[in-house]
Structure 1
Amino acid sequence: MAKFSKSNAPQFSVDVYQNEFLPEGGREVNAIVTVTSTGGGAVAAPQFYAAGRGADAAVALMVDCSGSMDYPPTKMRNARDATAAAIDTLRDGVHFAVIGGTHVAKEVFPGGGRLAVADAQTRDQAKQALRKLSAGGGTAIGTWLRLADRLLSAAEVSMRHGILLTDGRNEHESPEDLKAALDACAGRFTCDARGVGTDWEVKEVTGIASAMLGSADIVADPAGLAADFTRMMETAMGKEVADVALRLWTPLGAEIKFVKQVAPTVEELTDRRVEVGPRAGDYPTGSWGDESRDYHVCVQVPNAELGQEMLAGRVSLVVPGADGGIQNLAQGLVRAVWTDDMTASTSINPQVAHYTGQAELAQVIQQGLDARKAGDADGATAKLGRAVQLAAASGNADTAKLLSKVVDVVDAAEGTVRLKAKVAEADEMTLETRSTKTVRVKK
């Protein structure tokens, strides 16, 4: 696990948005917790890294080399070019490896169970090795992840990151084998996953990214891979603090209903809690660069008398300290105040209302697409209509645009839609893959 040292590190802040007022008998407290990290990350100039920062990282690139990557042949060529572009984006001093993935995982570069250290020479050697990649064989993604874990764990670094590209379904190992691999690798490195073309399984790719605290996306046209890989690697190179956890302490008698990330994507964290002491638990958030994320925390507190006030929760950002202990980066407080003022106790905080809608938006898109696949036209129309309504109300223009490729919008405000008779597979998969992307509250 990475150790955190204060020198030249990004600064974290925690802001809590809530309506702390509860009516008589009220017990549910909702808060949006905004965590912001500044003073590090991708905005740094290259010379900033040359001084030794930014090299404290290891990256494994996992490239699908299964037989389907040859249909059409441009897919394999684009995958090689994209991997080369990502290698060019590596900072000097970063440890890295390239893995070729089929029904088995093979070390493409540098080989011998090692990682290379990025410089002009090793980048060139890695790109030469990529030219030998050819398509043939099956797909067993769990084996790719386990090899990446073995290679990455050998490096004495704090940041460990994977980039995984696949074009097909994980047909050469059982879902149980993939889940076992994800369970074994989760928390050891983060991983971004990409599906290229339209022959892969969305829930498989998004499930990998979710388990590994990374991003997932579709690259429907293989020609877009190089630009996407470059962006992914730039983001990875901008991460500077690993193993950050959201620590939530609650008072005696309180019960946590849920904890979820709600921006920039919806990610359920409730079941990932690790107990760390009396009434306190950690929720993993992965690695951070210059960025801001929002979390929705819902706590059920014990009942209290009118006029009483209590601390409903303390939210802290923590990392492993250099001395083996824990370092607290920032904290915020969630409060509960009981009042007989109906206006105060019934008003919903705008942040809470917005993200409750965004979480519902992600859910109804998934339900609508599942209903559509199952041939339930009425169910699909109702759910996707509600999605259109929520996207319009919250100003989520990107999701609204994706929805308009799957349904004909009659009245967005009312959520009246008609299912399109023909939908391009890439459009449906893009909507499903990006369904959890949210927009932030308009200030």
Structure 2
Amino acid sequence: MAVFSKSNVPQFSVDVYQNEYLPEGGREVNAIVTVTSTGGGTTGGRPLPGSTASASAAVVIMVDCSGSMEYPPTKMRNARDATAVAIDTLRDGVAFAVVAGTHQAREVYPADGGLAIAGPATRAQAKLALRKLTSGGGTAIGTWLRLADRLLATGDVAIRHGILLTDGRNEHESPEALRDTLDACAGRFTCDARGVGTDWEVKEVTGIASALLGSADIVADPAGLAADFQALMEKAMGKEVADVALRLWTPQGAEIAFVKQVAPTVEDLTARRTEVGPRAGDYPTGSWGDESRDYHVSVRVPPAGIGQEMLAARLSLVLPAPDGTSQVLGQGLVRAVWTDDMAASTRISPQVAHYTGQAELAQVIQQGLEARKAGDLDGATAKLGRAVQLANASGNEDTAKLLAKVVDVVDAASGTVRLKARVADADEMTLETRSTKTVRVKK
């Protein structure tokens, strides 16, 4: 385990779990990397005591104000109330703005093309402005995100965060336009996305959160919005360091097969690699407070003979600086050793086995629900049965409970299930939205 720290930055530790032993000619090395950040999450983006620095965090809240938010009328009221609660949760000194989203985006507060600084007066003014929010118009989420990006860029802040609420499908811009927006905003700010009710598109909301390294969830009952927004804002206030990257260096002849975040959710980072030098690349992890995450790194190494060993990969957590340099926050090593001991080379690391199962669990849930929608009932039964089996074996009780609302479980251990004849939209969408949530390895 390697630990690095520096004043004003949380302390990061890196632990690597793997079976480094390979049979003669073996090429695949797998490791679970646990990254833990401690000592942050205490200032909520405010300058530290005695510091003269300006606010180091900014948040833009994007509220869906399209016509569908009026059905039922309580939905818009719940959205206003939830945004007010989020504003109350902002710590003094944090920069913020509120955007009303329809087929276009409008800054509701401070409505001057910039950000306000949270304090008693600005919170009161923002909540007054919220009362004027009304519903009407269409939905073009890309315009909301681009306005949020412009507003966040006006603040000299390290941590830029968005919270986005929608109740409908992105019908007033093309999927390509939204994708272009996400590509443009990626790496500029993080964003949590929430779907309220059951008339929105799961893949759109989860796609936004995935691209912008945030969380996605469903709030099926609008009455739950206030509690959800409060929790989101509290978490955002706990972030202390932004733009941390997982840097992987591999020796000559070795290459990265994939990099996935596997806890607290499954997120494939493989395609997000940015080359930073000979045989080294950075994978984005977003902003950190007091928390721990797990990553699955798979490396292909050149085949070697019995008794040989090599460094398969060196991984570093790095914090890029404006001058092009990087501060190393933590390091770990992935090794490969070739052996003729069959017991050693065939043993699977418990951590690797667990998260391989959790990644498969997320995949088969999504495949099972797709098959169900397509009318392939046999395929849906097989995939969702496998999901029940994996959730049961890994102790993922939350996912098991969600699956039980979509299938009747005959035998969890064998994955024997029957599809329910009728499933509530909210239950199906909750399972799909939360399918990537994982449980950690039992110590």
Aligned amino acid, residue 428 of structure 2: E
Residue in structure 2 matched with residue 18 of structure 1 by the alignment:
18
Label 1:46 to 1:259 Cα distance change in 2 as closer, same or farther (>3 A): closer
Q: Is the 8 A contact 1:56 1:157 kept in 2?
A: yes
Residue in structure 1 matched with residue 108 of structure 2 by the alignment:
108
Measure how far apart 1:114 and its partner are: 1.2
Residue deviations 1:166-222, cap 9 Å, x none? Answer: 000000000000001101101000000000000000000000000000000000000
Aligned amino acid, residue 364 of structure 2: V
Residue deviations 1:369-407, cap 9 Å, x none? Answer: 000000100000000000000000000000000000000
Residue in structure 1 matched with residue 189 of structure 2 by the alignment:
189
Label 1:7 to 1:41 Cα distance change in 2 as closer, same or farther (>3 A): same
Q: Is the 8 A contact 2:309 2:336 kept in 1?
A: yes
Label 1:252 to 1:47 Cα distance change in 2 as closer, same or farther (>3 A): closer
1:47, 1:116 → 2: CA distance?
14
Aligned amino acid, residue 351 of structure 2: Q
Residue in structure 1 matched with residue 146 of structure 2 by the alignment:
146
Residue in structure 2 matched with residue 331 of structure 1 by the alignment:
331
Label 1:49 to 1:228 Cα distance change in 2 as closer, same or farther (>3 A): farther
Q: Secondary structure at the match of 2:333?
A: strand
Residue in structure 2 matched with residue 260 of structure 1 by the alignment:
260
Q: Is the 8 A contact 1:55 1:91 kept in 2?
A: no
Measure how far apart 1:40 and its partner are: 1.1
Residue in structure 1 matched with residue 421 of structure 2 by the alignment:
421
Q: Is the 8 A contact 1:304 1:338 kept in 2?
A: yes
2:421, 2:54 → 1: CA distance?
50
Measure how far apart 1:324 and its partner are: 4.0
2:204, 2:321 → 1: CA distance?
35
Residue deviations 1:94-114, cap 9 Å, x none? Answer: 110000000000010001211
Q: How is 1:223-234 mapped onto 2 (pairs within 5 angstroms)?
A: 223-234=223-234
Q: Is the 8 A contact 1:54 1:91 kept in 2?
A: no
Measure how far apart 1:25 and its partner are: 1.1
1:48, 1:170 → 2: CA distance?
38
Label 1:54 to 1:69 Cα distance change in 2 as closer, same or farther (>3 A): farther
Measure how far apart 1:255 and its partner are: 1.8
Residue deviations 1:101-159, cap 9 Å, x none? Answer: 00000010001211101000000000000000000000000000000000000100100
Q: Secondary structure at the match of 2:135?
A: coil
1:207 equivalent in alignment to 2:207: yes
Measure how far apart 1:48 and its partner are: 8.7
Label 1:183 to 1:300 Cα distance change in 2 as closer, same or farther (>3 A): same
Residue in structure 2 matched with residue 98 of structure 1 by the alignment:
98
Measure how far apart 1:323 and its partner are: 5.1
1:155 equivalent in alignment to 2:155: yes
Q: Is the 8 A contact 1:58 1:94 kept in 2?
A: yes
Is there any run of 5+ residues in structure 2 with no aligned partner, and where? none
**How many residue pairs end up in the alignment?**
438
Identity %: 82
1:171, 1:50 → 2: CA distance?
47
2:361, 2:182 → 1: CA distance?
27
Measure how far apart 1:8 and its partner are: 2.8
Label 1:152 to 1:129 Cα distance change in 2 as closer, same or farther (>3 A): same
1:398, 1:267 → 2: CA distance?
19
More divergent stretch after superposition (196-205 vs 8-17): 8-17
Measure how far apart 1:9 and its partner are: 1.8
Q: Secondary structure at the match of 2:6?
A: coil
Label 1:287 to 1:377 Cα distance change in 2 as closer, same or farther (>3 A): same
Q: Is the 8 A contact 1:54 1:237 kept in 2?
A: no
Residue in structure 2 matched with residue 350 of structure 1 by the alignment:
350
Q: How is 1:309-324 mapped onto 2 (pairs within 5 angstroms)?
A: 309-321=309-321, 324=324
Aligned amino acid, residue 243 of structure 2: D
Q: Secondary structure at the match of 2:106?
A: strand
Measure how far apart 1:273 and its partner are: 0.2
1:8 equivalent in alignment to 2:8: yes
Aligned amino acid, residue 421 of structure 1: A
Q: Secondary structure at the match of 1:303?
A: coil
Measure how far apart 1:57 and its partner are: 0.4
Residue in structure 2 matched with residue 301 of structure 1 by the alignment:
301
Aligned amino acid, residue 237 of structure 1: M
Aligned amino acid, residue 236 of structure 2: A
Aligned amino acid, residue 69 of structure 1: M
Measure how far apart 1:56 and its partner are: 1.0
Q: Secondary structure at the match of 1:413?
A: coil
Q: What TM-score results when the alignment is normalised by the length of structure 1?
A: 0.97
Aligned amino acid, residue 103 of structure 2: H
1:51, 1:418 → 2: CA distance?
63
Q: Is the 8 A contact 1:64 1:102 kept in 2?
A: yes
Residue deviations 1:14-46, cap 9 Å, x none? Answer: 10000000001111000000000001115x699
Q: Is the 8 A contact 1:389 1:414 kept in 2?
A: yes
2:27, 2:291 → 1: CA distance?
33
Measure how far apart 1:256 and its partner are: 1.2
Residue in structure 2 matched with residue 406 of structure 1 by the alignment:
406
Aligned amino acid, residue 232 of structure 1: L
Residue in structure 2 matched with residue 63 of structure 1 by the alignment:
63
Residue deviations 1:337-356, cap 9 Å, x none? Answer: 00000000000000000000
Aligned amino acid, residue 335 of structure 2: R
Q: Secondary structure at the match of 1:35?
A: strand
Residue in structure 1 matched with residue 439 of structure 2 by the alignment:
439
Is there any run of 5+ residues in structure 1 with no aligned partner, and where? none
2:318, 2:302 → 1: CA distance?
27
1:99, 1:49 → 2: CA distance?
29
Measure how far apart 1:47 and its partner are: 9.8
Measure how far apart 1:321 and its partner are: 3.1
Q: Is the 8 A contact 1:149 1:189 kept in 2?
A: yes
Aligned amino acid, residue 342 of structure 1: M
